[in-house]
Amino acid sequence: MPRTAKQHRKTAETDIQIDLNVDGSGLSTIDTGVPFFDHMLTLFTKHGLFDLNVKVVGDVDVDYHHTVEDTGIVLGQCFREALGNKAGIVRYGFFLLPMDETLAEVAMDLSGRPFLSYHAPEKMEAIGGRAGVFSYQLVEEFLRAFSSALLCTLHVEIKRGRDSHHMAEAIFKGLARALDAATLHDPRVVGIPSTKDVL
């Protein structure tokens, strides 16, 4: 069965459409109205080998917060829908990703229980220039929304790092690789990978 999903969510603050293919090849069309966030979702797709189309119309004239958080919600819902009952998957995924001076650790369990543990330097500089300034704090907001909607346990930690751009990029790439590993089919797994027989 193809593991695909399509979601549309409209609120007073955002209008979001996402098409996802978990078993893709890294193709993406991303337009959130937030250039740096587009960059993060593009590399997330590339390194996770998902196919992803994202179109967002948000109140970016007010702030980027609603767009980033709501996109995390809808993307998490898409993965949850596409994975179904999670029969036959590995379930766990983790990755230690270096990017220059930065080292990011991402570990996840597609447990059916939403939880985020996030450890990273605080009061980091915003990212961006003429294209728009992206608050580094929004990375955590995205991760919280995504893990809550997907119902996964997610641990993210910056082991070392100084540059905001590098830390954000390492996190999104590490998330992609961990999620790719967790969603892989393992032919040895019979049914749901849990002694409770439900995830």
Paired strand residues for 18: 7, 54
Paired strand residues for 117: 155
Give the whole-angstrom CA distance, residue 57 versus residue 113.
30
pLDDT in tens, 135-169: 999 999 999 999 999 999 999 999 999 999 999 99
Residue 39 pLDDT more than 70? yes
The mean pLDDT of 90-108, rounded to a whole number, is: 98
Residue 1 pLDDT more than 90? no
Q: What is the pTM of this model?
A: 0.96
Tell me yes or no: is domain 4-183 CATH 3.40.50.1220: no
Environment class of residue 70 by beta-carbon count within 10 Å: exposed (0-12), middle (13-18) or buried (19+)? buried
Mean pLDDT of the chain: 96
Share of the chain above pLDDT 70, in %: 98
Q: Where are the alpha helices (DSSP H) in the chain?
A: 35-48, 65-83, 137-150, 164-183
Nearest to 16 by CA among 76, 79, 75: 75
